[in-house]
Structure 1
Amino acid sequence: MANSTMVPEFLLMGFAEMLEVRVLHALLFLLLYLATLLGNLLIITATTLDQNLHMPMYFFLRNMSILDMCYISVTVPNACVNSLTDNRAISLAGCAAQIFLVIYCAYVEFLFLTIMARDRYVAICQPLQYPVIMNHQFCVWTTLVSLLSGIIYAGVHTGNTFRLSFCQSNVVRQFFCDIPSLLSLSCSDTFSNELLILIFTMGIGGGCFIFIAMSYLRIFSTVIKFSTRERGKAFSTCVPHLLVLSVFLGSGSCVYLRPSGASDTVLDMLLSVFYTIVPPFLNPIIYSLRNKQVKEAVRKVMSRKFYSGKL
Structure 2
Amino acid sequence: MYTLTITFVILVSIFDAKCDESGDDFKARLIALENKLERQAVQIISLQKEVSTQENTIADLKEKVDAQDNDKKKMEAEILKLKRESLKHNRIIKHLLKLVKKAPIQQNENVVDKNDDERVGVIQKVDNLKTLDKKKRFVLDMVETVAFEATIAGGNIAHHTHIDDKIVFETVSLNVGNGYHSGNGTFIAPMSGIYVFSTSVMMIGANSIDTGMHVIIEKNNAEIAGAYASNKGSYEHSSVTVTMDLKVGDTVAVTVERHDDITFYGDNLTSFTGFLLYAF
Q: TM-score range by the shorter chain?
A: under 0.3
Instruction: Judging by fraction of residues, say which structure has more helix.
Output: 1
| Higher RCO, Cα 8 Å, sep 6+ | 1
When Rg is computed on C-alpha atoms for both structures, the one with the higher figure is: 2
Instruction: Judging by fraction of residues, say which structure has more strand.
Output: 2
- Give the TM-score normalised by the residue count of structure 2: 0.19
